[in-house]
Amino acid sequence: MEAHETRALFVISVAAELAGMHPQTLRIYERKGLVAPARTSGRSRRYSERDIDRLRRIQELTNEGVGLAGVERVLELEARLTDAQERIAVLEHELSEVQRAAGEALAAAHRAYRHELVPLPKAIMVRVENRRR
């Protein structure tokens, strides 16, 4: 997450305008726990670009007919999905590193035992039969 996305810059009236909604709606969303703007020492709300994006997403969902409880659940699931995707990316990177290291170890083992093999000009095979009576 970029620092500029989380820096709380916008007062409620500007945030409401940027999100395309009324300031009172932002207050309602805050009371419902859908958005949590930063506060100044004087307790004024300050919204970040990330907050504005979240407000726009809430508006998208409510325009599609999703209730606020549903919006909350959708946002929670989207956050979990993002976390899972990030974890998968980390695990895929770790797996590729392990595979690379294993490949290098295998190549080193092949190099090591090739030096121990001695070619024979002719091979003689002796077959011994063990007869039991």
Domain extents for the chain? 1-65, 67-115
> CA torsion angle for 7, 13, 14, 16 (degrees, to 10)?
90
Q: Of the CATH numbers 1.10.1660.10, 3.40.140.10, 3.30.1390.20, 3.40.50.300, which one belongs to the domain with range 1-65? A: 1.10.1660.10
Residues 92-109, mean pLDDT to the nearest whole number: 94
**Residue 46 main-chain phi, psi, to 5 deg:** -135, 125
CA atoms within 13 Å, Cβ hemisphere of 127: 2
pLDDT band at 114 (very low <50, low <70, confident <90, very high): low
Residue 102 or residue 112, greater confidence: 102
pTM for the model stands at: 0.67
Q: Has residue 127 got a pLDDT over 60?
A: yes
**Residue 74 main-chain phi, psi, to 5 deg:** -60, -45
Can you give the pLDDT at residue 109?
Answer: 85
Kindly report, residue by residue over 35-90, the tens digit of the pLDDT: 999 998 998 999 999 999 999 999 999 999 999 999 999 999 999 999 999 999 99
